[in-house]
Amino acid sequence: MAQLIKNDTLAVDTWKTLELAEGETPESVALPAGDIIFPLAVWQARKTEIISCHKRIGLLIQPDELIEDVAGDLEYFIVIAVNFPKFVDGRGYSTASLLRQRYRYEGELRAVGDVLHDQLFFMRRVGFDSYALKDGKNAVYALETGFNSFSDTYQTSTNQPQPYFRRRA
């Protein structure tokens, strides 16, 4: 089980992610009850159905999926989980930047998958606010030091829209 870091503390994860078993398709998979994070393909195939039976909806987006494709649906989501199948696949950072900066998504933005201590600082900068730290990693130490590797930054990003050069005294 991944360890969820949220609001600067270890949190209990109330969400379940719908996974398609072999042979199941987005069109045919049974939609479970509860707080569910739906893969993008399931959301696209079953949107009306999901809205009719779920009040709280989550979305899972993979590195090769484009957030533009659901940009009109963002108001439905309480949480959007961006998957990092391998931590060296950096596409999720752009997905997060777009969600926050271009589409003004304000719900929970969660990094899931191969989420490690040494990427937390960058993840927060692009707009993630919850982190499913990989199983077996020291979550307490990550909380203590992973988010404050650097005291300031040069570039613009989600959590600091002004570049350092505009903030110089």
Partner 1 sequence: MYKYDAIDRQLINERVAQFRDQVRRWKAGELADDEFRPLRLQNGLYIQRHAPMFRIAVPYGMLNSAQLRTLGHVAAKYDRGYGHFTTRHNLQLNWPKIEDVPEIMAELAEVEMHAIQTSGNCLRNITTDPFAGVAADEVIDPRPLAEILREWTTFHPEFAFLPRKFKIAISGTREDRAVTWFHDIGLHLKEQDGQVGFTVIVGGGLGRTPIRGQVVREFLPWQHILTYCEAILRVYNRAGRRDNAYKARIKILVQATGIEAFSQQVEDEWAYMKDGPATLTQAEFDRVAAHFTAPDYEKQDEVALPTEKAFTKWVDRNTHPHKVPGYAAVTLSLKQHGVAPGDITSAQMAAVADLADQYSFGELRISHEQNIILADVKKADLPAVWEKAKAAGLATPNIGLLTGMICCPGGDFCDLANAKSIPIANAIQARFDDLDYLFDIGEIDLNISGCMNACGHHHVGHIGVLGVDKNDSEFYQVTLGGRQGNDARLGKVIGPSFSADEMPDVVDKIIKVYLESRHADERFLDTFDRIGLDPFKNRVYEGRAHGKAKTAQKEAA
Q: Please report whether residue 104 would count as binding partner 1 according to CB under 8 A.
A: no
Q: Please report whether residue 135 would count as binding partner 1 according to CB under 8 A.
A: no
Which CB atom, from 49 or from 144, has the smaller least distance to partner 1?
144
Residues 57-76 interacting with partner 1 (rule: CB under 8 A): 63, 66
Q: Which of 133, 44, 124 is nearest to 84 (CA)?
A: 133
Strand ranges of the sheet holding 36-39, from the earlier edge strand across to the other edge: 9-11, 3-6, 130-133, 108-113, 77-84, 57-61, 36-39, 16-17
Q: Would you call 165 helix, strand, or coil by DSSP? A: helix
Which CB atom, from 36 or from 146, has the smaller least distance to partner 1?
146
With beta carbons less than 8 A apart as the criterion, state whether 51 and 77 touch.
no
**CA dist 22 → 14, 40, 43, 61, 95 (Å):** 25, 17, 18, 19, 28
Provide the residue type at 31 as one letter. Answer: L
Q: Which of 97, 107, 108, 147 binds partner 1 (CB under 8 A)?
A: 97
Q: Please report whether residue 48 would count as binding partner 1 according to CB under 8 A.
A: no
Which span (11-19, 54-62, 72-80, 87-95) binds partner 1, by CB under 8 A? 87-95
CB of 48 to partner 1, least distance (A): 29
Q: Please report whether residue 144 would count as binding partner 1 according to CB under 8 A.
A: no
CA distance 14 to 144: 24
Which CB atom, from 47 or from 91, has the smaller least distance to partner 1?
91
Positions that interact with partner 1 (CB under 8 A): 63, 66, 87-91, 93-94, 97, 101-102, 116-119, 121-123, 125-126, 137-138, 145, 149-157, 161-166, 168
